[in-house]
Amino acid sequence: METAYINSPLGITKIIGDENGIAVISVSDVGDNDVSPVIPEVLKEAVSQLEEYFQGQRINFDLKLNPKGTDFQQKVWKSLLEIPYGKTISYMDQTKKLVDVKAIRAVASANGKNPLWIVVPCHRVIGTNGSLTGYAGGLSRKKWLLEHENPTTQQRLF
């Protein structure tokens, strides 16, 4: 597995992957890691697409993904890819599409373990009442991402 660190508006973005796909994209506070002076060839497309996203030039990602997780987690993460750019759904709506509504905590837990920040858009899942709830990257980052994707309609959520 190769690793790269790049600057983003929300902190240092860590990308891990190999020829089988991108396994991890995460963010940490600025200063936690040094930015990579050289990007491994296998990660260059992911870096390019993330930069385009942050510049407002990309709304869909076209990357080979290879996240590690249980079958259930994989199913939940796959459902996140169906949420359009600039739109949100509630945890309850996501759960209803996947499994019995009694599994809402399991679905929320799987969202929280999503290893592919932004590319698998768990930030687009909000509380039933429209509130920002739960986000491994922190609620301030979730708010930033939602406003980045849809500055006019997201403002009414928070």
Hey, which residues are catalytic here? 122
What is the dihedral sign for C-alpha 90, 145, 84, 43?
negative
Angle at Cα 80 formed by Cα 26 and Cα 71, nearest 5°?
85
